[in-house]
Amino acid sequence: MTAKRDLDLSIGRLFRQLTTFIGVGFVATAVHYAVLIGLVELGGVGAVVAALAGFTAGGVVSYIFNRRHTFGSNAPHQRAIRRFAVVAIGGFGFTFVFMMLFIDFIGMPYLLAQAITTCIVMFWSFAAHRNYTFA
């Protein structure tokens, strides 16, 4: 029974991490959009610069909450931040590839393409952060 109990605990921990990761993603996305909209609408900042600021702010939120609450990592910040950046760049690249594929080659509406891409990148990012960034 020990092997079954260990498997059950492992699956439970994985499920908790995944649901926490999704929750953190919602918060990070909200921060991203709040900064973007605030800078454009209230600050008169150009959309591209505001989007980069929002991406950065959301990334900081994602790093802090995922490190602490999702993965409970004790990895040194210097190493974890570098690895987090690698995963973020990978996610950016996957987003580009899948959006191009879904929109330009398949002809999918952009919001549907973004929703599917977000799901794909979310699962990839979760696995990468779990096994690489915060391992």
pTM of the model: 0.80
Helices (H) and strands (E) in the chain, counts: 4, 0
Token couple for 103: 């929109």
Neighbouring residues of 51: CB distance < 8 A, sequence distance ≥ 6:
36
Q: Please write down the HEC assignment for all residues of 13-30.
A: HHHHHHHHHHHHHHHHHH
Closest residue by Cα to residue 118 from 26, 34, 3: 26
One pLDDT digit (tens) per residue for the chain, 135 residues: 577 777 767 888 899 999 999 999 999 999 988 998 999 999 998 887 888 899 899 999 999 999 999 999 998 999 999 999 999 999 989 988 998 999 999 999 888 888 899 889 999 999 999 999 998
Alpha-carbon gap, residue 39 to 101, rounded angstroms = 31
Alpha-carbon gap, residue 85 to 99, rounded angstroms = 21
